[in-house]
Structure 1
């Protein structure tokens, strides 16, 4: 599975590598699959893949007035249209943290994978990333 790797500062790369190292072998019941490049601060699970990436840009439509879904103390931004339509793929972003972590979940895994992914990532986000904005 090919994943896009963002340009990262040395500090962001270190934080993202710590998150990637801590990612579980399964996410939302799906097994981890190989990614390219294999040193990317990312992971993929299942087919079609649930993709976790670290170091992503601010999500389109996100600002401090945006609503977020909070799980275990970490807020995730979900675009309104994706939140409301269970038939769409969904992108969750821990938008209040730097660097940001994003999870892209194909619609076939909804709704269970959304909560499972947020819960699995929350401890890693809190441990390795800096909270800079409220998103909850």
Structure 2
């Protein structure tokens, strides 16, 4: 399960306060990749406006809130699921992503074959819709070229 805590009161939707998330602590070489990525991220993803989580960091970004939240964390540790040959993966506009379904809270996607692991967690509104992940492709490809 990803280390992203999204707090939300009953009846939450796409508007409201930004979530609180754990800020990753990657090695220094990955921090530079993440900072470059942060500068290239889109203003809108999945129809949601930018709404960065707290605490503020170049290693995190967010869009929307509540069940429509999309939270990005850059520089996370390699997920153990990447070693499982039964894990699901998708390719979106030239970027490969490990896919993890969260039973009640949506989906989590993590880049593969990159210098820094980028994790994108999507709220319950996106539980069956992974299309917003493609909106990160240009920024990821520009700032964190493939390692394969």
Gap runs ≥5 in structure 1: none
| CA RMSD across the alignment | 2.1
Equivalents in 2 of 1:104, 1:15: separation in Å?
A: 19
Greater displacement, 55-64 / 102-111: 55-64
Gap runs ≥5 in structure 2: 1-18
TM-score w.r.t. length of structure 2: 0.75
The answer to whether the 8 Å contact 1:69/1:78 transfers is yes
Within the alignment, does 1:107 sit opposite 2:124 as a pair? yes
Question: Residue 83 of structure 2 aligns with which residue?
Answer: 63
Within the alignment, does 1:45 sit opposite 2:63 as a pair? yes
Match among 98, 107, 113 for residue 90 of structure 1: 107
Within the alignment, does 1:3 sit opposite 2:21 as a pair? yes
TM-score w.r.t. length of structure 1: 0.80
Equivalents in 1 of 2:105, 2:24: separation in Å?
A: 25
Aligned length: 127
Equivalents in 1 of 2:75, 2:89: separation in Å?
A: 19
Equivalents in 1 of 2:50, 2:30: separation in Å?
A: 23
Change (3 A) 1:34 1:128: closer
Match among 75, 80, 93 for residue 72 of structure 1: 93
Change (3 A) 1:88 1:9: closer
Deviations 1:68-116, CA, capped at 9 Å, x for gaps:
101111111013xx28x7x65211000221201010011222333x212
